[in-house]
Structures are given as structure tokens and as C-alpha cells.
Amino acid sequence: MTDALLPLSLPLDTLAAKAQAPAPSAEELAKRGQIAKTAQDFEASFLAIMLNTMLKGVEQQAPFSGGEGEEMFKSFMGEAMAKQMTKAGGIGLSGTVQREMLKLQGLEQ
């Protein structure tokens, strides 16, 4: 038997079960959306902590130093970088967190 015929050889009751799966309710869709947002926020917070720790050791020399203003806004830069990194796909942490949160809510992936 070739691999091209494999999907056609599934039992009919298996195909019917997949076709009859109920559509998710509006409440479930809203819950999934909130879980996805929370997981991304968690990843952004994690990355911000990592970046801010890394940036603490970076010192600029005059005349390129921002002085006290630079020190005050360095954490904001770390947070902004973390949010952009998460939007671009992040490090994969949000996907793992999202899967675990869905399991805790009794929702399938």
C-alpha cells in the first residue's frame, strides 16, 4: 500500500467523528485568546528581566553617555525590546506556557 492511499484507508467512523466535532463557543474562544495574551505577556516579562539584568553591566563612555537620564530609561528600553522580541516569535516560552494553561482549563490544544 502506498502512502498516497493511506488517508483514504481510514475507517469511516473516524472521519465522521472529526467532521462532527462541535465548533468552539464564543466563551471558549475568548478564554483561548486571553490565555494566549497572558502567555505572551509572561514571556515579555521574563525577557525584560533577562535584558535588564544584561543591560546593568553596559556602561557608555563620554561623550556618548546619557548620564542619569540613561540610567532612568534603561529599564524602559529593556521592556520595549522584550515586547518586540515576543511579537517577533520570542524564544518559544509563550507556546509552552499557553499549552500548560490550556491543560489547566481543561481545553484541548
**Is 58 within the bounds of a domain?**
yes
**Is 50 within the bounds of a domain?**
yes
Q: What band does 39 get if pLDDT is binned at 50, 70 and 90?
A: very high
Range from 12-21, 43-52, 79-88 carrying the lowest mean pLDDT: 12-21
Say how many C-beta atoms besides its own lie within 10 A of residue 41's C-beta: 14
**Is 55 within the bounds of a domain?**
yes
The predicted structure's pLDDT at residue 56: 83
Which helix (DSSP H) or strand (DSSP E) does residue 11 occupy? Answer: none
Distance of alpha carbon 35 from its chain centroid, rounded?
A: 10
Sign of the four-CA dihedral 88, 90, 92, 94: negative
**Is 20 within the bounds of a domain?**
no
**Is 33 within the bounds of a domain?**
yes
**Is 82 within the bounds of a domain?**
yes
**Is 15 within the bounds of a domain?**
no
The predicted structure's pLDDT at residue 59: 75
The overall pTM is greater than 0.85: no
**Is 109 within the bounds of a domain?**
no
Structural domain of 71: 25-104
How many independent structural domains does the chain possess? 1
For residues 2-21, average pLDDT: 57
